[in-house]
Amino acid sequence: MDAYNLLVQSVELYPLKVRESEEAVKSAEAQLSQAEINLSRTQVKVPFNARIKTVNLEAGQYVNPGAVVMTLSDDSILEISVPLDAKQATQWLPFQKDNINIDSAWFPPLEPKECEILWTEDKENHKWKGLLNRIERYDEKTRTVYTVIRIEKENIFSITDDKIPLVQGMFCQVKIPGKVLSGVYRLPDTAVSFEGIVYTAENNRLKSVQVERLYIQGDEVIVSGLKAGTVVITTRLINPIENSLLEVQKLGDKEAVS
């Protein structure tokens, strides 16, 4: 009898459940109709001429609100992040002295100096112009300052005749104009030891002079701490003896030390 009564009760509830399901279907249809109306009135616009970089969805896929579905790129303005040694950057980067924000513990703005960008695959035939823009970040582990060079849309194409555009992913060399250094000398890297010692010829004797490395560019080093007219030995010496007797010979307008 108990089982029979439960079965009768269930049968009596079936019409109510059917009507409840029908109402749920009508509600879902109304929501679908409203979503279709909203979709017909909706347009997704990008405020720039976009290039699609990545797409993270497929046709028919259900997407939750807030999910990243694609990445768009604005190629009309490009930026190059150039890592620089922190000490060298603070010595010769052109900071604006009259525009310092005392409320922010960050680097001052940079002077918008024009920079030259060279494609490492073909430096002679592919060059672009950029502007020194800002300090992007500072890496305390490597003590590196990351400087941003911005390329506006009018400078995206190379200044050479072929007019090749600067494309994301290209390996480039950037020439940044800095402060003018005075009292410095450009030496081959073989002339400066790892400890910053330069060997000179003074009164036909070998003398070691401590210098400061200011900048390294390729196989050359810009140093300070030398006097004008000093004869520098450019050959790397191994275990030299201080005050060794030297013989200085004239070779045209240069001097050779032996």
pTM: 0.61
pLDDT of residue 228: 87
Q: Cα dist. 187→175, 208, 230 in Å?
A: 20, 15, 12
Cβ contact 257:201 at 8 Å: yes
- 148 and 211 in a single domain? The answer is no
Is residue 126, in this structure, part of any structural domain at all?
yes
Task: Give the structural domain span for 116.
Answer: 74-175
Segment 220-232 shows an average pLDDT of 88
pLDDT of residue 254: 63
- Whether the per-residue pLDDT at 258 is higher than 60: the answer is no
Q: What whole-number percentage of the chain has pLDDT above 70?
A: 95
pLDDT band at 193 (very low <50, low <70, confident <90, very high): confident
pLDDT digits 0-9 by tens, 162-172? 788 888 888 99
Alpha helices in the chain (DSSP H): 2-40, 86-92
- 159 and 197 in a single domain? The answer is no
What type of residue is 28? A
Is residue 60, in this structure, part of any structural domain at all?
no
Segment 60-87 shows an average pLDDT of 88
pLDDT band at 257 (very low <50, low <70, confident <90, very high): low
Cβ contact 187:211 at 8 Å: no
pLDDT of residue 252: 62
**CATH code (residue 219):** 2.40.420
Q: What is the number of domains present in the chain?
A: 3
pLDDT of residue 33: 93
Segment 15-37 shows an average pLDDT of 90
- 164 and 191 in a single domain? The answer is no
Q: Cα dist. 56→28, 44, 68, 75, 180 in Å?
A: 28, 17, 7, 21, 50
- Whether the per-residue pLDDT at 251 is higher than 80: the answer is no
